[in-house]
């Protein structure tokens, strides 16, 4: 059977003789011993928060994707309108030959 006083004396001696290294080693041993208890408990506590964060991310992704597709469609529509406007402007500048004014002939 493990004697609690002996363990406390060992830990006390370890902290006194090794300084900071002993405290780190004791912390590491404690973490290894408590990990099988703490990790599943943390998983049960953290899982709902992670699920909510993922669901929120998916909703945000869908909304941004929808808004982005609307913006792309609007930009394409504006580009097409600009191209049509440019075509009509250039057609107005270049008149067919029969509509051009004739220069007076030198007499």
Q: What is the pLDDT of residues 58-104, one digit of tens each?
A: 898 888 888 888 889 999 999 999 888 887 766 656 555 555 555 56
What is the SS3 assignment for 96? coil
Between 21 and 3, name the one with better pLDDT.
3
- Residues 68, 76: Cα–Cα separation, whole Å: 12
The alpha-helical segments, DSSP class H, found in the chain are 4-18, 20-93
Map residue 99 onto helix, strand or coil.
Answer: helix
Structure-token pair, residue 77: 């529509």
Higher-confidence residue of 99 and 106: namely 106
> What single-letter DSSP state applies at residue 105?
P
* DSSP classification of residue 1: -
Mean pLDDT, rounded, for 49-65 = 89
């Amino acid at each position: 059977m493990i004697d609690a006083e002996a363990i406390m004396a060992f830990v006390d001696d370890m902290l006194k003789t090794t300084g900071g290294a002993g405290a780190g080693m004791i912390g590491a041993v404690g973490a290894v011993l408590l990990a099988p208890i703490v990790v599943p408990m943390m998983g049960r506590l953290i899982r709902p928060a992670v699920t909510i964060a993922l669901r929120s991310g998916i909703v945000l992704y869908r909304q941004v994707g929808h808004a982005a597709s609307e913006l792309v469609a609007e930009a394409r529509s504006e580009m097409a309108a600009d191209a049509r406007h440019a075509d009509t402007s250039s057609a107005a500048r270049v008149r067919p030959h029969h509509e051009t004014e004739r220069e007076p002939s030198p007499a």
